[in-house]
Amino acid sequence: MNYLTSCLSRDTWVGKNYQLWNINDLICKNGYDGKCTLAAGANQATYPHQLGSGGNVAIENPTDHKVMNIEYMTGKPIPAVI
């Protein structure tokens, strides 16, 4: 949040394009598929569900995006979950 807050206080790409989601893990399996909001000057996002709660994510995405890790040194994308 400190990084985001510092970007919001200046004219930055991140400040203009950020989105916060209530996703609870790095491979997008737990959480809720919905955007959070951040009030000006706040350090905690708000969301209709409890932040960090473990609902099952059901992302409706026609292209079925998968979470990928980028292999160090090669730059090769590897599925985060096999």
3-state SS record for 30-66: EEEEEEEECCCCCCCCECCCCCCCCCECCCCCCCCCC
Q: How many domains does the chain have?
A: 1
pLDDT value at position 13?
Answer: 92
Q: Are 24 and 53 in contact (CB under 8 A)?
A: yes
Average pLDDT over residues 28-35: 73
Residue 70 CA, chain-centre distance (Å), reads: 17
Q: Are 68 and 53 in contact (CB under 8 A)?
A: no
- Give 51 or 71, the one with higher predicted confidence: 71
pLDDT value at position 61?
Answer: 46
- Give 50 or 42, the one with higher predicted confidence: 42
What domain range includes position 8? 2-79
Average pLDDT over residues 49-64: 60
